[in-house]
A and B are shown apart, each in its own frame.
Chain A
Amino acid sequence: MKRLGQTIRDLWKDPMGRIGMIGILLVILVAIFAPLAAPFEPDKMVAMPKSAPSADYWFGTDNYGRDIFSRILYGARVSLEVGIIAVGIGAVAGYILGLLAGYFEGWVDRVIMCVMDILFAFPSILLAIFISAVLGRGLVNTMIAIGIVNIPVFARTVRAAVISAKGLEYVSNARSVGVRTGAILVRHISPNVVAPFTVQATLALSSAILTEASMSFLGLGIQPPDPSWGSMLSEARTFMEQAPWMAIFPALFIIVTILLFNILGDSLRDVLDPKLKT
């Protein structure tokens, strides 16, 4: 916990880290308080279809006359929810697999990493589509699909960190003292995994949001009339020339959110790198 506080303080000192943290906090607040902040219901027709942005309808309305601003606020919920849960699934499974593969090596490592390499070999969107097709449409299945796609990246990151930590003298020291394997993993090896793992998690969050947007765009993610940034973009495609605001605003939010996560991830990588510490 002390380390968490210190990490946040260090992030705050870095201008990029500060932008990332504030920005993401805003996105999270928007998602939480969407029902209070949204001027209209997200799935009600409130004005003429395809009205241009105005004082009443800040981002305009879509082809059914629904308020785009309200839909974007609600859409933030979907994006974050999918991002966090999908990354959570990938991170937990990847962490355990990576730890086992890295510490035990031998056949455990070969079996785990072989499966990971096979998963890795597919383009992530293709794999997510395939898993969705097997599990069926819907938001929960999308999360599971994106989560599975994320496992190999985490497993690899963790495995590499574990293998390099295993070579450390103080890990040999713990073995020579006779410390139990579990305690060595938790006390001596895991702390070396936290930094690359956390950085990977922020970067994976942005890619998960993007994958959800792509899948909703393809019609596999969230089902109408619920809004998500990806599905809004998908619907906007047909009306790009008549109502460009339908596409511009969701796209803008996707870009900015992903950028914020990447900025935070980069800053976190610098902050957690012990070599840059004085």
Chain B
Amino acid sequence: MSQENILLDVQHLKTYFPIRGGVMRKAVGHVHAVEDVSFQIREQETFGLVGESGCGKSTTGRSILRLIEPTGGQVLFDGTDLCTLSREQLRLKRRDMQLIFQDPYASLNPRMTVHKLLEEPLLTHFHLSPKEREEQIQWIAQAVGITAEHLERYPHQFSGGQRQRIAIARALICKPRFVVADEPVSALDVSIQSQILNLLMGLQQDLKLSYLFISHDLNVVRHISNRVGVMYLGRLVETGSTEDVYRNPLHPYTKALLSAIPKRDPSEEKERIHLEGDVPSPADPPSGCAFHDRCPHCMGICKEQPPQTRELEPGHRVACHLYNP
């Protein structure tokens, strides 16, 4: 991958949560929610992060924005390491990086009108005259498809899809450069999902945004992403262009995941790879490769050594012993 135009460079990101026990509430162990995750996002690119529930996708997204403090690693945003910024420096930096939440029913303050919700980011980050603020609010409302008379209403007076439009407007009104979209359509009806996805894609063009798009829906990710990362138990097992990963999955986990997508033609023969067992606990991950106890191709080395990430094709990386040279 070329070094130019890289907006976000995540290096060896780790986020552990302590498990506290005993009278003194000492840490008796750690949940390895994010374990050594590295990837890059270029300008105006959408990087899709897929994986099962609980694999650490959302924690990765929130750790990058330091809404959850990462335990280790670097997050270089436009050359600045976010992990070294002070609270106030970080707060000011948030103008350029925003988060769209999964649940639009919970992420909007029910006591604020749409107008107030959209005004708050502007008041936080800019010194604008009331007239300029009004112009910005009108502009973003129009961009996401909220009409002027909706501005004085409260969130509970809207449907889920409309609420997500409001949430998107709130995230984008300061014209950020990078947006983490944390399952932005999972809480919505299927009929609304594509509308919101198209809105996000349209706004990406207009505002020159880069997305980290987190989802467990493989079809959605394929539709919206330029590149994809597959997560398993806090680890990034495979990254590559959407085309490469979906056409030619390399990691056994990615293969199993993709084989689970329902085919358009039900009569078509498909080879479904069934994984044995459950996802192990991230508090006590398996030795060696985290996937070894469920992998159909498990070898001796897999139980002992964690695999290195290798670039097999240009831009297509995988962490699996099967591809050892």
Contact = CB atoms under 8 A, between A and B. Distances in A.
Given A174-B120, A176-B99, 11 more contacts: A168-B106, A170-B107, A170-B109, A170-B110, A172-B107, A173-B101, A175-B67, A177-B94, A178-B93, A178-B125, A180-B91
Interface in B93-107: 93-95, 98-99, 101, 103, 106-107
Interface in A140-195: 168-170, 172-180, 183, 187-188, 191
B290 interface: no
The 9 closest A-B pairs by CB, nearest first: A178-B94, A169-B106, A176-B99, A169-B107, A170-B109, A173-B107, A178-B91, A177-B121, A179-B124
Interface string B45-85: 00000000000000000000101000000000000000000
Interface string A201-238: 00000000000000000000000000000000000000
Interface of A: 168-170, 172-180, 183, 187-188, 191
Contacts of B92: 178
Given A170-B108, A172-B67, A180 B99 contact: no
Interface residues of B, number: 26
B26 interface: no
A173 B108 contact: yes
A178 B90 CA distance: 8
B16 to A, nearest CB: 18
Contacts, number: 56
B127 interface: no
A173 B117 CA distance: 11
Contacts of B107: 169-170, 172-173
A164 B109 CA distance: 14
A180 B124 CA distance: 7
Contact of B103 (A169, A174, A178, A180): A169
Nearest to A171: B109
Nearest to B103: A169
Contact of B95 (A170, A173, A174, A178): A178
A174 to B, nearest CB: 7
Nearest to B97: A176
18 contacts: A169-B106, A170-B107, A172-B67, A173-B108, A173-B167, A173-B170, A176-B67, A177-B98, A177-B121, A177-B170, A177-B174, A178-B91, A178-B125, A180-B91, A183-B120, A183-B124, A187-B109, A188-B109
A179 B101 CA distance: 16
